[in-house]
Amino acid sequence: MYHLIGKQVRVHLYSREGITVGTVTGRVADVAQAVEVAKGMKKDLALIVDIDTGDDEHPYTNSAGMEGESWFAIQDIEVIEDDSPRLFSN
């Protein structure tokens, strides 16, 4: 997981119902393994900073009200700066 730190990524966003609602881009600043996100559910997370929504008038704001950064599940991110072809599966 630590190989992700510093990488440019695309984050796939989903509603609580699991429906894809869009993507944002940013840079991985930190990672955390096996974080309990709900009772009995653990996920590997990445702290994404410098989040760009593609719309300057509507910056990304996390649930705590901070702009431009948030924690996301590693399973929902895709490295976009590598030369390898895009592969993403949910």
- The string of DSSP codes covering 27-70 is EEEEEEEEEEEETTEEEEEEEEEEEE-S-TTS--B-TTS-BSEE
Chain centroid, CA 36 distance in Å: 17
The confidence band for 85, taking pLDDT boundaries of 50, 70 and 90, is low
Predicted local distance difference test score (pLDDT) of residue 90: 47
Q: 4 in helix, strand or coil? A: helix
Distance CA 56, CA 58 (A): 6
Predicted local distance difference test score (pLDDT) of residue 88: 54
Predicted local distance difference test score (pLDDT) of residue 84: 53
- The one-letter amino acid at 63: S
